[in-house]
Amino acid sequence: MKKYLILILFFYCEFSNAQDVIFSQNFLVPETLNTSFTGATRGTKTGAVFRSQWRSSALKVSSNFAFVDTWFEGFKSGIGLSVLNQKESGSSYTFNQVNLNFAMAFEISDTWFFRPSISAGLGNKNYGFQNLLLEDQINLGSSFLNTATIDPSVLRSQRSFVDVSSSILFNNEDSWVGVTVRHLNKPNISLTEAGNVPLDVFFSAHGKYYLPVLNNVRTWLADKSKIYVLTNYMKQGAYNRFDAGLQYVFDDSISMGLTMATTSAKNTDNSKPVNSFSTFTGVHWQGYRFGYSYDFNTSELINTGGIHEFSISYDFNVNIRELNRYKCVPFF
C-alpha cells in the first residue's frame, strides 16, 4: 500500500508541477493568455471558455475559465477578476483559482502602446486521497478498519496557495506582442505536511501580427479581409511547446484559423515535432463573440475524442472603439 501511495504522490506532484492549463482559443479569448488584456477594450467586458478534453478516454479532463474586467479612463488602467477551474474524472483531481488582475496603458509612440499588468490570486488543488486505505488502518485480528492513521507518509487531501503572476503587452491598431510569467513566487503544492514542492514558473512569449498581403489587392473581398500570423512559445519546467498558425478575419465578423502545436526541444525520447493541430472559428455579432475550436491529436494517443472548446464573450461598450480605435487592442 505504501508503494502505491508513493506512486500516486509522485505522479500527481509531477502532473501538477509540470503544466498549466493551455486553452486552444487563447487568440480569440486572450485574457486566458495575458492579463495585460484586462480593460484593453476601454470598456467593460465579460466572457468564458469551456474546454472538454479526451472525452472518449478514461482520463476525461474539463477546464473552464471565466472573467470580467473594466477600464478606468481617468487612470488609464483596467481591473478585472478571473476564475479558473479544472477537473480530471479518473482521479477526482480538481483545481480552482481566483485571480485579481490590474493593468495599465502607456502611449509610447503615435501608434504603439505598452501595457504592463500584475495578477494575484488564491489557488486550491484537491486530489481526493482521503479515500486511500493505509497499512496501519487494517486490523487483521478482526473485520474492522481503523478510521485514523499515524502513517508518516499520509497525504493532504488538498493544498491552498497564493499565486503571483505578471505580464506585459505591446500593441498598435493591428498587432500585438506580449510576455507572461506565472507563479513568480513559486508556491508550494506539496501534499505532505512537511514537504516543499515549488510550482514551476510558467513562461509564455506570444504575438499576433497583421500581414498586409492584401493591401494592394483592389477587390471588395480583399478590402474586408485580414490575415494574421499567430505565435506562442511556452515553457514550464522541463516542458516546452511552440504554437504557430494563421488567422483569417472577414469584416471583423467572421474568423477562422489553424494552429499547430510543436515541440521545439525534445521533452521525452518519444516526443514528436508536431503534437496536435487546432482549428478554430469565431463569430462577432454586435457586442457578442462566439468561438469554437477542435484539436486533432497527432501523438500515439488514439481514440481520445479530441479536444473541444467553446467560448463566449460580451463587450458592454463596443461602440467606444469608433471614438478612438487605435487605442484598443485588436481582439478578433
Question: What is the structure's pLDDT at 49?
Answer: 97
Q: What pTM was computed for the model?
A: 0.82
In a domain, residue 31? The reply is: yes
Question: What is the structure's pLDDT at 185?
Answer: 95
Decide: residue 48, CB within 10 A, 0-12 exposed, 13-18 middle, 19+ buried. middle
Question: What is the structure's pLDDT at 15?
Answer: 45
Question: What is the structure's pLDDT at 148?
Answer: 55
In a domain, residue 47? The reply is: yes
Question: What is the structure's pLDDT at 238?
Answer: 86
In a domain, residue 290? The reply is: yes
In a domain, residue 61? The reply is: yes
Helix, coil or strand: residue 202? strand
- Strands (E) across the chain are located at 45-53, 61-72, 77-88, 93-104, 106-107, 113-126, 158-171, 176-182, 202-211, 225-236, 239-250, 254-262, 274-285, 288-297, 307-315
* CATH code: domain of residue 64: 2.40.160.40
Helix, coil or strand: residue 249? strand
pLDDT digits (tens, 9 = 90+) for 101-153: 999 999 999 889 999 999 999 999 887 555 555 555 555 555 555 555 555 44
What does the angle CA 11 – CA 131 – CA 88 come to, to the nearest 5 degrees? 50
Q: Which residue's C-alpha cell is 477526482?
A: 92
Contact by Cβ (8 Å): 21, 86: yes
Write out the residue range of the structural domain in which residue 305 sits: 2-327
How far is the C-alpha of 297 from the C-alpha of 207, rounded, in Å? Answer: 24
152-to-4, 135, 196 alpha-carbon distances in Å: 15, 11, 15
pLDDT digits (tens, 9 = 90+) for 141-168: 555 555 555 554 455 567 889 999 999 9
221's enclosing H/E stretch is helix 220-223
In a domain, residue 227? The reply is: yes
How far is the C-alpha of 261 from the C-alpha of 278, rounded, in Å? Answer: 8
Question: What is the structure's pLDDT at 182?
Answer: 96
* Domain count of the fold of the chain: 1
* CA proximity to 91, closest of 168, 16, 184: 16
In a domain, residue 139? The reply is: yes
In a domain, residue 43? The reply is: yes
Question: What is the structure's pLDDT at 143?
Answer: 56
In order, the DSSP letters of 55-103 are TTSSS-EEEEEEEEEEEEGGGTEEEEEEEEEEEETTTTEEEEEEEEEEE
In a domain, residue 332? The reply is: no
> Which parts of the chain have pLDDT scores under 50?
1-18, 152-153
